[in-house]
Structure 1
């Protein structure tokens, strides 16, 4: 009897020890996961540099959530799982600033043939004989400096090209940016465009010294961005590591420059540092030689460059060529080939998108390219696997296209490892819902289950709530994942009909968050016809196609009553897209969904615009902050009333809408051009009139 009791207590003691061990083991695991996720958040939001794909991040987050649910006593308020939507919120806040003239990007080319076809050939058709200014393309952060009477009054990042972040406090700490311009002949208002960067020597110094609490940066660009975004800094010496070079001008109220070379010369006279490696060439061959020289010798430079910039030197000719929506036609970035790394392919993961298309994702041993760790790359579709003759265990070449997107470019077959190569098994069933997979004529694999497939449903709902579609606030990707996984929503209608009973079943979602979500869903969602079409998720119907279709049909009723012949007559709409639309509108289930969506969504049609209203077809620019209306809603209402919104003042501008803290240069230009100005109170009274 005593032996039995002894055995019982020994087993009990061992179980207690095992539980204690388990507790400490998982506690350590949870702490490490939290540190990892918080570190990725820091890199993503503060440094503008992510070295983890969304798939990896979501996997880590899901793992942490599961462990915290298994061991609820290990939860704490500082865990990333407690910060609802934290990944989408900036960790450091700066005031927004509007550029007087948009800071556009540059079109890129990577090959000599593309440079000729996409840049030189179109220019030669419009302009005969031009000389070109060739400059280095710095791997840094583009900024806009605004000088008023020679005094630096603001500095902003590029942002989206129209709105940047005001970083004047940090810019004033950078030694080689003058607070006051030299000389006396500078214009009253002058915007100077340039690049903030960090030299290789200073980058090494930064990471070696770590400057107190600041972590090691992965590359020179993220280091420059990280320093610029510091809100409070104990060690101000950190800003001495940054450099600045000017490369052009934005808005100016006085000087008319004849060419780009003169712009750079004037900037230097004003005390603005410029690069000494700038040349003007008439010959195409000499431009190519300039590129080749720096491609070969870029490692000898004290800073990182990722290519050269070629600009038409003559400014009158620049104005003749003009701009696209995002880039000038008179300049181009001729970039160096992306760096390549060799690594071992471990496995292929098959992901499902919102239209059911299966995308293979290559998972390989981590490689570091330009300071970014990469271990995943998309293979686009199963045809790519066959084209590359890809197998598990292969050595693959990874390239960052444009130094951004990871891509598998080649397979290096090692004869010694031939026997160890494992063929990739193409799935026959959907990895998410086990439905039978089918192939298109182009051999594209897709899941036929539609929104009954959870992964498809998640991807579709994330598309549905996005800003380009219905634009629903306070609902993020993580919340959608939880709602779908718990079978609480099965379509977009369920999402729009969310209530407190459903939301209360979601872990870590407080009453404040629930109230915000319900408040955003309470009013009927108002969207333009093209965005409503985009929300339906019809295959091959992107945002541009939806816009063309909305202009053609003008109303939903006409769209739903169309036929295949009419669809094929629409310009820019192909046979495949026409067939997809026709099949979609001829399914009763889809019609029922549209009818239910219309109970929660109001479509705004072009015909609903009152043509005699105050704003119809007026070219409007907005400046400053507003008290009773957000800028987003202001723009939205103006567009509904048929206004044309511009981010800059010109002779053709009809109205300048004024908020508080207005841009002085816009006011100055509007006054000079005698443009009508109205304030927030007037705007609101007019909106009420046309309600």
Structure 2
């Protein structure tokens, strides 16, 4: 009996000791997790220099939350699960500002299971038959605008949710944020919540112009933050790059609202910009379809979004559910899967383009982002290497911009691997022709050898035969590389004069392939004037500029006899572009090449098309996919008929040509009452004007 009792007490003691050990083990784990997350918070919210991916951060926060729920006695009011943002000073030069109602964050989910389990299931237990307001989640900086008697008196960042930084001075310079509310009967005090962001197009403009001493930004959020924290006199045009959309309100007196939709309608009445893509759904499946639609089409939007926000529409029911210290229980962010992956940089290769500019290409361990394997990314120029402080052996963050172009957005420096980092040697000689490299004012490397540099010649010939230029069939990159490497062709005329004798010297090129190439070269190439101009490879002259030039001059003869004054008067052509064109057409070698090209190429001019056709001088935008015609052929035929092609829908757009699976252009065209025609109608008109 005594032995049994002793055994019982020993087991009990072991269990107690194990529980004590477990308590200390998890306490240490929780403390370490908190420190780690708070450090990431500080870097993200204060330094604007995150060194962790979003989904990795969310995993850490979720792990901490689970541990705190398992051991509630280890909970702490200063835990990152209880705080919003960072308690450190963020925009250090600005005064503090208290929010009248706390400006909380949102809980995140990344898949349907978590969305149902963490949001819909608990809600359906409490409330039945709900409507949900679905909005886009902008990737920008949250702001709280305080209006008193309709006048903007404060503009504060989120901060820690209670106190933010008052950046009113800079916010007043943003055109889309009104200094005074419009309409009548606005409340005495009104807090408006929203997001300040920069569009993709304006982000590119910002990095191109650099606005003086300001650095290149890696993404739209850091660019928005960088502009907002400016605390000295600067060209105010930089603030015109920023946009604002409101998604709700904080404190309000006098007025009471029934639902979120009503709030947004009232804000629009007051002159506050709101997003047009907000939808109200009662069906779970319709919400999922809303998410899927924007997940698929987000790259078509002019701004970056990283998910959708789902809110209970009814305000009374929002109040029933209430809040945690961290976030409302009646709203959730359903985020898109990460477009970022972490990998290891293996090497940098310096590539020469057709204009001689040296472009670094980064090669890294293969990563899969949204089903696509990626193992290299362009670094644009050597400035990007310096900006990222990039070295061989670095752990780098890869992002697919617009779901297409891979880009290195960040370097994650791990102290364990510091010794293994190897400096990148910037070349002084051209990797192709060994000539001495030159530098521009902007520190961009280039080779001055022109088409005598084999890599530049290859790049130009690939440009010349491409679809956007002359569009010659059966001559691809591999064939061009072999012809140039074997010194069989030295210019574009040699390419057009290829014969059986030259082609037979190329390995693995059979008689059938040779006959196809010769047949495609035998027929005189027919191209529109704008494509002929583009095929010439004039430095820094793109497709759009060539299109505007073709409309302005209408013939090659007029173009070749132009002057700088005339060039400057063309739409979207500045000093540098006009000088590049003028220098090109005043070189004898270029004129000789153009004359020889005309023996092989027939130019189709817009003036040769009879003016009384349906498309002539109409401003046309295209959306969707087409069954019986390729998009490039559609554009080519429209230009021949004298149409003016626009990328985006504008008020002055005359016509939208609609294919299957259209983008948001269709919605915009409908709202602006723009005429819409389908593929069948277009093809029947083409047949008529044949």
TM-score by length of 1: 0.47
Q: Which one has the largest radius of gyration?
A: 2
Identify the structure with bigger relative contact order (alpha carbons < 8 Å, sequence gap 6+).
1
TM-score by length of 2: 0.47
